[in-house]
């Protein structure tokens, strides 16, 4: 392949290549502090101005709105500060509450192809969508359409389908409980369980593993447990960027004597040291050291590491029986202990050290922390779940907790940290392609219909259905399905094979440019905005990562008089599509969300007296069976699991690539081009590499390289990335998503959960050829 034709033509599915390499600068030694204050003020004032910036004081307050960012919980209202948001939460709110607007003139001025030539950052900067738009078959522009006509168009396409299963209903994690409940009700009244969601890409492995091992798909801890933990393990996560409010919780735990162990392939500033922006001593000084022990595990070396920790614990238990493991708990509550221990004894230390990249002395130190702690919490995020053995990763951590009875007592438990404010709530409301028979029976009884029985499509299977010509209509309730899913180019082809794609959104993103034959862009209210319906101003509810349900009510005037709430949009589409076939008064539900909550109370367990309980400041806790040591497994016992250490074929100079976020983005939304915690500015197309790996390939900082991923079904190619030297293990590298999602094969999924393996992709890295003047 010659230099001129080596780089394939770029499509609208991918951002444009970057003309210049990014600037590199020294990394800070501490997370947050004065830098967070500065960036918060800059983003707030630039997007909202001084007066509107005051809305930040309403974030996460009992009489305000839930942050549209991460799902980390809030303190009890009695203990909340006046400022209950982080830098990235402020960026999310500033982006939503921006004064910039995208109107009809904008779409008349820009063709869809021209918009595709712009960066994702540029698109987000253009502002809020203000009225519904349509792309007609063969059209080059989005054009205005009335709400009634838009709803009718969706209804016509859905009515024309040969089967309800030729439609898919995607949901992002920002959707409220009320909207999510209504959305799944609509899909099931239509006759399908095709309800893919963002959990399919982030914590599907967590839910699958925990359901198998302890009978619940959610974490078992509350925020109060962090006040009593003796040890906290942070595994495969970067709180400093992805959920910064967690740093405050960790700081308080460390100051009272808790030992924190960080396990991660990248040496992230936020895992090391944190300066609380509201503590003057922290801001002036160097803050508080968080991790007492940092284990720089290889990418996907977590099973090996935890096997090593438990094998070391087993040796101490053998030397002094009954002093390490909680045998009373094991005997009363668990199954599979003997087989698990047999497998642990059989695991070789050579395989453990080689697989984890951590030497025995460091493993022994981690085991000692675990053994000396009376109560241990293990936290994790997508660094654990997005691997072929993502389920095994979670199971191994649960094994570690079970050995010492660290589930179901104060200060201990499993803590998967969700990455979006209501991603957990969406599942609770029924956004899942495989809801239980009990849920479906209650839903059918409540609304007088027979819900569909066959399981539906998850995200990966939805893409396959599109590619196979088995899907006519795709509806996206928020999010950016194109960019968030794997195998970007194949996903784009799938979307283009649909007859109609519908996107409900607040702002423009790349997923709106790759469409079916016809496309609708339906603008909705944001979390910050007043939601006025027939019964008056409405509030919605959300569920955080620790199963607390709370109210959220926007305070800003809507960005446009032509916006509708997500609830109203769902109701409008449902009424138009179902007509006389429906048993639901959609208009009544859209006019008064309390009606929706009354239905939720009758259908979803633990939501009794929903309306009254959620109005109590701080909301209410749903409860958790495993936290009460009630195991909702088939045999009513918690289960030890036997797993194997993952192996990756990295011969011929191949590297194992993981995808990560920059500090100036949230999921697929890019707020800026500064990843200051990693020392990168003014660029996103970067690959972080170990200095020795760079040297072996003759590369220096800033050199341009091409990446090729390798899978059984072939290779995938992405051109012109800039090399950044970084503290990452040998034979590993890291890139930002969504840019690198083009390299993730569609069929590279986790065993059991079918979650894409975006954090363990085998790649080769080679120097890019010179760009000819013609190619440029």
Segment 227-260, tens digit of pLDDT: 999 999 999 999 888 888 899 999 999 999 999 9
Fold assignment, 204-416: Dimethylsulfoxide Reductase; domain 2 (3.40.228)
DSSP state of 26: P
Nearest C-alpha neighbor of 551 from the set 461, 612, 632, 470: 612
pLDDT of amino acid 773: 41
Alpha-carbon distance of 276 to 267, in angstroms, equals 20
Nearest C-alpha neighbor of 743 from the set 757, 725, 726, 724: 757
In this prediction, the residues of the chain whose per-residue pLDDT falls under 50 are 1-8, 773-776
Fold assignment, 101-138+156-200+425-623: Rossmann fold (3.40.50)
Look up tokens 């899909």; give the residue: 187
pLDDT of amino acid 10: 58
pLDDT of amino acid 404: 98
Q: Where are the beta strands (DSSP E) in 478-517?
A: 500-505
Alpha-carbon distance of 527 to 540, in angstroms, equals 9
Alpha-carbon distance of 693 to 763, in angstroms, equals 13
Alpha-carbon distance of 725 to 693, in angstroms, equals 9
Structure tokens at 750: 């986790």
**What residues have CB less than 8 Å from 50, skipping those under 6 apart?**
none
CA end-to-end span of the chain: 17
Alpha-carbon distance of 262 to 311, in angstroms, equals 19
pLDDT of amino acid 708: 97
Largest CA distance in the chain: 77
Nearest C-alpha neighbor of 210 from the set 355, 45, 407, 15: 407
Alpha-carbon distance of 535 to 547, in angstroms, equals 29
Structure tokens at 561: 């008089």
Indicate the helix (H) or strand (E) that contains 403. Answer: helix 390-403
Look up tokens 């290779």; give the residue: 715
pLDDT of amino acid 5: 35
- CATH number at 23-30+650-767: 2.40.40.20
- As a dihedral over the C-alpha atoms of residue 457, residue 132, residue 426, residue 472, rounded to 10 degrees, the angle is -10
Q: In the chain, what are the domain boundaries?
A: 23-30+650-767, 32-96, 101-138+156-200+425-623, 204-416
Look up tokens 């991918």; give the residue: 14
**What residues have CB less than 8 Å from 160, skipping those under 6 apart?**
472, 499
Indicate the helix (H) or strand (E) that contains 568. Answer: helix 566-578
Task: Answer for the pair 393, 297: CB distance below 8 angstroms, yes or no.
Answer: no
Q: How many residues does the chain have?
A: 776
The string over 609-648, giving b where at least 16 C-beta atoms fall within 10 Å of a residue's C-beta and e elsewhere, is ebbeebeeebbbbbebbbbebebebeeeebbbbbbebbeb
Nearest C-alpha neighbor of 653 from the set 612, 627, 689, 624: 689
Say what the pTM is.
Answer: 0.95
Indicate the helix (H) or strand (E) that contains 638. Answer: strand 638-639
The number of angstroms, rounded, from the C-alpha of 591 to the middle of its chain's C-alpha atoms is: 31
pLDDT of amino acid 546: 93
Alpha-carbon distance of 103 to 130, in angstroms, equals 6
Q: How far is CA 361 from CA 45, 358, 458, 532, in A?
A: 50, 8, 43, 61
Structure tokens at 175: 């959707």
Please state, as a whole number, how many other Cβ atoms lie within 10 Å of the Cβ of residue 703. Answer: 19
Alpha-carbon distance of 567 to 182, in angstroms, equals 7
SS3 59: strand
Task: Answer for the pair 614, 551: CB distance below 8 angstroms, yes or no.
Answer: yes
- Burial of residue 713, with CB atoms counted within 10 A of its CB: 0-12 exposed, 13-18 middle, 19 or more buried: exposed
SS3 content of the chain, % helix, strand, coil (to 5): 40, 20, 40
Alpha-carbon distance of 400 to 344, in angstroms, equals 12
Alpha-carbon distance of 86 to 8, in angstroms, equals 41
Strand order in the sheet with 548-552: 540-543, 548-552, 620-621
pLDDT of amino acid 62: 86
């Amino acid at each position: 392949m010659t230099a001129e034709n080596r780089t394939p033509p770029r499509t609208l599915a991918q951002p444009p290549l970057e003309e210049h390499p990014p600037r590199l600068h020294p990394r800070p030694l501490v997370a947050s502090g004065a830098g967070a204050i500065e960036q918060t003020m800059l983003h707030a004032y630039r997007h909202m101005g001084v007066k509107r910036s005051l809305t930040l004081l309403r974030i996460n307050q009992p009489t305000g709105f839930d942050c549209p960012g991460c799902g980390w919980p809030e303190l009890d209202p009695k203990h909340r500060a006046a400022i209950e948001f982080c830098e990235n939460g402020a960026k999310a709110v500033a982006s939503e509450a921006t004064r910039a607007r995208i109107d009809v003139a904008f779409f008349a001025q820009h063709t869809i192809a021209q918009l595709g030539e712009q960066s994702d950052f540029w698109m987000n900067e253009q502002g809020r969508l203000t009225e519904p738009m349509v792309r007609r078959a063969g059209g080059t522009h989005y054009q205005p359409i009335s709400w009634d006509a838009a709803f009718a168009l969706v209804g016509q396409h859905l009515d024309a389908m040969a089967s309800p299963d030729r439609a898919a209903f995607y949901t992002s994690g920002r959707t409220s409980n009320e909207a999510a409940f209504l959305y799944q009700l609509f899909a099931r009244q239509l006759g399908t369980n095709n309800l893919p969601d963002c959990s399919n890409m982030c914590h599907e492995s967590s839910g699958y593993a925990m359901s198998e091992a302890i009978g619940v798909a959610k974490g078992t801890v509350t925020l109060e447990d962090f006040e009593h933990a003796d040890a906290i393990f942070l595994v495969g996560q970067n709180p400093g960027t992805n959920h910064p409010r967690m740093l405050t919780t960790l700081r308080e735990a460390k100051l009272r004597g808790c030992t924190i162990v960080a396990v991660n392939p990248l040496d992230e500033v936020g895992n090391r040291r944190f300066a609380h922006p509201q503590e003057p001593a922290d801001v002036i000084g160097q803050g508080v050291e968080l991790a007492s022990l940092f284990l720089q595990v290889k990418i996907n070396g977590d099973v090996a590491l935890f096997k090593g920790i438990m094998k070391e614990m087993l040796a101490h238990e053998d030397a002094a029986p009954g002093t390490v493991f909680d045998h009373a708990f094991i005997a009363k509550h668990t199954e599979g202990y003997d087989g698990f221990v047999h497998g642990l004894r059989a695991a070789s230390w050579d395989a453990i050290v080689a697989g984890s990249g951590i030497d025995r002395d460091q493993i022994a130190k981690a085991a000692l922390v675990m053994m000396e702690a009376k109560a241990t919490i293990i936290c994790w995020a997508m660094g654990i779940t997005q691997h072929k053995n993502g389920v095994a990763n979670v199971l191994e951590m649960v094994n570690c907790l079970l050995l010492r009875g660290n589930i179901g007592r104060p200060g201990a438990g499993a803590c998967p940290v969700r990455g979006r404010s209501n991603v957990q709530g969406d599942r609770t409301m029924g956004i899942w392609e495989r809801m239980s028979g009990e849920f479906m029976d209650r839903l059918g009884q409540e609304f007088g219909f027979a819900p569909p029985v066959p399981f539906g499509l998850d995200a990966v299977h939805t893409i396959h259905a599109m590619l196979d010509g088995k899907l006519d209509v795709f509806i996206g309730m928020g999010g950016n399905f194109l960019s968030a899913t794997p195998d970007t180019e194949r996903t784009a082809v799938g979307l283009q094979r649909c007859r109609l794609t519908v996107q409900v959104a607040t702002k423009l993103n790349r997923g709106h440019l790759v469409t079916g034959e016809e496309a609708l862009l339906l603008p909705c209210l944001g979390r910050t905005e007043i939601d006025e319906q027939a019964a008056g101003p409405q509030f919605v509810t959300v569920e955080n990562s620790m199963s607390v349900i709370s109210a959220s009510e926007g305070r800003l005037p809507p960005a446009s008089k032509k916006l509708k709430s997500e609830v109203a949009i769902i109701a409008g589409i449902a009424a138009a599509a179902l007509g006389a076939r429906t048993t639901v008064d959609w208009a009544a539900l859209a006019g008064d969300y309390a009606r929706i909550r009354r239905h939720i109370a009758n259908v979803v367990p633990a939501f009794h007296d929903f309306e009254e309980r959620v109005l109590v400041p701080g909301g209410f806790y749903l409860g958790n069976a495993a936290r009460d040591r009630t195991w909702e497994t088939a045999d009513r016992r918690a289960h030890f699991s036997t797993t194997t250490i993952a192996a990756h074929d990295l011969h011929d100079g191949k590297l194992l690539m993981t995808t990560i976020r920059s500090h100036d983005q949230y999921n697929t939304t890019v707020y800026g081009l500064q990843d200051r915690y990693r020392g990168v500015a003014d660029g996103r197309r970067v690959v972080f590499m170990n200095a020795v790996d760079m040297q072996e390939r003759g590369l220096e900082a800033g050199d341009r390289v091409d990446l090729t991923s390798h899978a059984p079904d072939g290779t995938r190619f992405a051109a012109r990335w800039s090399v950044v030297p970084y503290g990452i293990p040998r034979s590993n590298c890291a890139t930002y998503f969504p840019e690198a999602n083009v390299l993730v094969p569609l069929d590279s999924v986790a065993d059991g959960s079918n979650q894409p393996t975006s954090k363990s992709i085998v790649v080769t890295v080679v120097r890019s050829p010179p760009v000819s003047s013609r190619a440029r």
